């Protein structure tokens, strides 16, 4: 009966003592936000954003960061290499198809890491072999042996994945896993690439493979589940029950199609139901909310309000009965504390009379460490905001600092914006920009205030990029809330996302649009520099 397994006190669920923790099996958390997550349409991140996400993932205690697919582009290669160079104890993986050139490139990118890993994969299911690879089973077995051996000659830590494992006949999958382990693979990943498996079946597949492959104890088994049927987290946990000890997952469940297993859900399920699961992870769960916000902002993928763990409503209680219960005892309707995932009670911060010291302390509390100049800039912006907005909340400060980080090194800045809009005709925007130190002003009309503002920017900074996303979020509640705007621009098949925050939605929109244009300019400069040095 479920009740008999529930601990009497919530604290027993929430705190794991070190002796209890050490008796539990460690689950390796392999984060693929920067690879599987980033490769999903529209979620592309810039070089700087990837470094920022990787740094947070390492601070949060994930064990492996799959930093990208080095052969995919020069940009991917450079980001993986820089993440590898900056990494401490975290393992940095680079993805490679079962192609010698891919493997060499992945090795070049990750080799500078303290703990480098090559992750190589090949399809094993009949449908992939017949239609995509046009290879026989025997040919694929030879490819596995050769490519895993090649990778193993380059690094000691090699992960091999059987793409579409869950639609592969088990006897053939056993032969593939056997070949990969014999060739030197240290991790064997069996992905549910198309999100087709159900938990009992996925667990059974691991049990059977672990039991049938002679040297299965020489490798760690791994799950990698897509969420097409909404079963990615359940399948990952079932895979662990079947013998896997690594879970591949992404922040906010970002990833191809319906996404991957969400890291925050997997980790909190293991932690909250520690009475049931004899496993542990090393993830610092109070950092989950920050990671979710960062990934949502840089990818411009909003988090649904009722998303487990990190959704805005995940810890809010609306119905009268629930509120009544919560007031009497929080355990009536809460299985985890908001603090355990980094949600703090929304606190009213400082007003316009607060000083630098208090502001610096608040930033520290929110996890931001700024240098003196950045702190001074952020403080000025905070003062401006406090003049315009009655209540300044933690979320406002996070948006303000995020905006500050995003706008550093930009060549174009908004100096002033006036927008005239309403029922009486086309909207008009008068904008002044600082472009590389020169001030330029334009007055342009448009079909509504946003269109007029963007047309005015385009009149000053002409470009051919197409806008594929315009998204507005209120940072807090109330009509004076700051607007956080994301704008995605696409040029030459590549996309960039700009962000801007301001209590005035039009100013936030202009900042976001300009931030995206700045990123396009940085990309062009990089490509130009590469072409010149080639």
Residues that bind Zn ion (CB under 5 A): 36
Nearest distance, CB of residue 182 and ligand KIV, angstroms: 20
The Cα 84–Cα 102 span in angstroms is 17
CB 202, CB 170: distance < 8 Å: no
Q: Which of residues 470-509 bind ligand KIV (CB under 6 A)?
A: none
Q: Which does 293 bind (CB under 5 to 8 A by kind): ligand KIV, Zn ion, none?
A: none
Q: Which two tokens stand for residue 246?
A: 């690594």
CB of 224 to Zn ion, least distance (A): 6
- Nearest distance from C-beta of residue 35 to ligand KIV, angstroms: 8
Kindly report the three-state secondary structure assignment for every residue of 106-129.
HHHHHCCCCCEEEEEEEECCHHHH
> Tokens 């449908």 belong to which residue?
127
Token duo for residue 124: 């094993």
The nearer residue to ligand KIV, 103 or 297, going by C-beta atoms, is: 103
Instruction: Please identify, using beta-carbon distances, which residue of 119 and 362 lies nearer to ligand KIV.
Output: 119
Bridge partners for 66 per DSSP: 93
Q: How far is the CB of 266 from Zn ion (least distance, A)?
A: 15
Q: Give bridge partners of residue 246 from the DSSP assignment.
A: 28, 222
Query: Which of the listed partners (Zn ion, ligand KIV, none) does 246 bind, with a CB threshold of 5 to 8 Å by partner kind?
Result: none
The residue (of 37 and 498) whose beta carbon lies closer to Zn ion is 37
Q: Which does 81 bind (CB under 5 to 8 A by kind): ligand KIV, Zn ion, none?
A: none
Helices and strands in the chain: count of H runs, count of E runs: 19, 16
Instruction: Tell me which residue of 514, 472, 463 sits closest to 491, measured CA to CA.
Output: 463
Query: What's the min distance (Å) between Cβ of 199 and ligand KIV?
Result: 17
Q: What is the CA radius of gyration of the chain?
A: 25
* Residue closest to 218 by CA, chosen among 279, 146, 152: 152
Of 168, 193, 235, 289, the one binding ligand KIV (CB under 6 A) is: 193
Binding window for ligand KIV (CB under 6 A); candidates: 149-157, 189-197, 406-414, 442-450: 189-197
Pairing of strands 483-491, 466-474: antiparallel
Least Å distance, CB 133 to ligand KIV, is 14
Sign of CA dihedral 288, 290, 292, 294: negative
3-state DSSP call for residue 402? helix
Does position 120 bind ligand KIV by CB under 6 A? no
Q: Is residue 161 part of the contact set for ligand KIV (CB under 6 A)? A: yes
Q: What is the dihedral of CA 401, 402, 408, 412, to 10 degrees?
A: -110
Quick one: 36 or 396, whose CB is closer to Zn ion? 36
Beta carbon nearer to ligand KIV, 128 or 488: 128
- 422 torsion bin: left (phi>0), alpha (psi -120 to 50), beta (else): left
Query: Can residue 253 be called a binding residue for ligand KIV (CB under 6 A)?
Result: no
Q: Which does 150 bind (CB under 5 to 8 A by kind): ligand KIV, Zn ion, none?
A: none
Answer for which of 30, 77, 121, 221 binds ligand KIV (CB under 6 A) is 121
Shortest distance, position 456 Cβ to Zn ion, whole Å: 42
- Residue pointed to by tokens 């840089």: 298
34-73 footprint of ligand KIV as x/- string (CB under 6 A): --x-------------------------------------
163 binds, among ligand KIV, Zn ion, none (CB under 5 to 8 A by kind): ligand KIV
What is the C-alpha to C-alpha distance for residues 93 and 266, in angstroms, rounded to an integer? Answer: 20
Range 211-240, binding ligand KIV (CB under 6 A): 224, 226
C-beta of 116 vs 191, nearer to ligand KIV: 191
Contact between 270 and 281 (Cβ < 8 Å): yes
123 binds, among Zn ion, ligand KIV, none (CB under 5 to 8 A by kind): none
Instruction: Give the shortest CB-193-to-ligand KIV separation in angstroms.
Output: 3
Question: Residue 434, SS3?
Answer: strand
Tell which one of 191, 199, 253, 274 touches ligand KIV (CB under 6 A): 191
Residue placing its CB nearer to ligand KIV in the complex, 147 or 193: 193
Point out which residues pair with 189 in neighbouring strands.
161, 222
Span interacting with ligand KIV, options 102-110, 186-194, 377-385, 423-431, rule CB under 6 A: 186-194
- The span from the CA of 502 to the CA of 480, in Å, is 10
Tell me how far apart the alpha carbons of residues 139 and 518 are, in angstroms, rounded to a whole number: 48
Beta-carbon contacts of 142 under 8 Å, excluding residues fewer than 6 positions away, are: none
Return residues touching ligand KIV (CB under 6 A): 36, 121, 161, 163, 189, 191, 193, 224, 226
């Amino acid at each position: 009966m479920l009740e008999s397994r529930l601990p009497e006190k919530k604290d027993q669920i929430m705190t794991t003592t070190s002796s209890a923790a050490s008796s539990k099996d460690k689950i390796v958390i392999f984060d693929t936000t920067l690879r599987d997550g980033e490769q999903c349409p529209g979620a592309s991140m810039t070089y700087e954003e990837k470094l920022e996400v990787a740094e947070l993932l390492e601070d949060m205690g994930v064990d492996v960061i799959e930093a990208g697919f080095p052969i995919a582009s020069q940009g991917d290669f450079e980001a993986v290499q820089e993440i590898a160079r900056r990494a401490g104890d975290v393992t940095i993986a680079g993805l490679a198809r079962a192609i010698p050139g891919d493997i060499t490139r992945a090795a070049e990118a990750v080799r500078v890491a303290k703990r480098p890993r090559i992750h190589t994969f090949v399809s094993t299911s009949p449908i992939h072999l017949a239609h995509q690879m046009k290879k026989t089973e025997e040919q694929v077995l030879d490819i596995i042996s050769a490519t895993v051996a090649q990778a193993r000659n380059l690094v000691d830590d090699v992960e091999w994945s059987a793409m579409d494992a869950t639609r592969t006949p088990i006897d053939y999958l056993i032969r593939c896993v056997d070949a990969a382990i014999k060739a030197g693979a240290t991790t064997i990943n069996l992905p549910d690439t198309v999100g087709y498996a159900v938990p009992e079946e996925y667990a059974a597949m691991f049990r059977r493979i672990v039991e049938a492959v002679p040297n299965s104890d020489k490798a760690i088994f791994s799950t990698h589940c897509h969420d097409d049927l909404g079963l990615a987290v359940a399948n990952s946990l079932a895979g662990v029950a079947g013998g896997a000890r690594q879970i591949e997952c992404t922040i906010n469940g970002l990833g191809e199609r319906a996404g991957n297993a969400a890291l925050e859900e997997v980790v909190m399920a293991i932690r909250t139901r520690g009475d049931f699961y004899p496993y542990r992870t090393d993830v610092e769960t109070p950092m989950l909310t920050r990671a979710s916000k960062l990934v949502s902002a840089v990818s411009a993928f909003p988090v649904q309000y009722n998303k487990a763990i990190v959704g805005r409503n995940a810890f809010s209680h609306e119905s009268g009965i629930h509120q009544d219960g919560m007031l009497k005892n929080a355990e009536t309707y809460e299985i985890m504390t908001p603090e355990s995932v980094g949600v703090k009670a929304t606190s009213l911060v400082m007003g316009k009379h607060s000083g630098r010291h208090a502001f610096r302390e608040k930033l520290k509390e929110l996890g931001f460490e700024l240098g003196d100049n950045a702190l001074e800039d952020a403080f000025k912006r905070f003062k401006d905001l406090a003049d315009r907005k009655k209540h300044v909340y933690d979320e406002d400060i996070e948006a303000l600092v995020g905006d500050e980080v995003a706008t550093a090194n930009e060549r174009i800045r908004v100096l002033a914006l006036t927008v005239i809009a309403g029922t009486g005709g086309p909207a008009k925007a008068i904008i002044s920009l600082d472009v590389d130190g020169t001030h330029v002003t334009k007055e342009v009309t448009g079909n509504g205030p946003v269109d007029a503002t963007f047309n005015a920017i385009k009149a000053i900074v002409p470009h051919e990029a197409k806008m594929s996303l315009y998204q507005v979020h209120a940072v807090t509640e109330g009509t004076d809330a700051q607007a956080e705007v994301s704008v995605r621009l696409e040029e030459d098949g590549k996309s960039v996302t700009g962000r801007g925050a301001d209590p005035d939605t039009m100013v936030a929109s202009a900042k976001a649009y300009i931030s995206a244009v700045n990123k396009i300019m940085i990309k062009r400069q990089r490509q130009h520099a590469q072409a010149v040095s080639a």
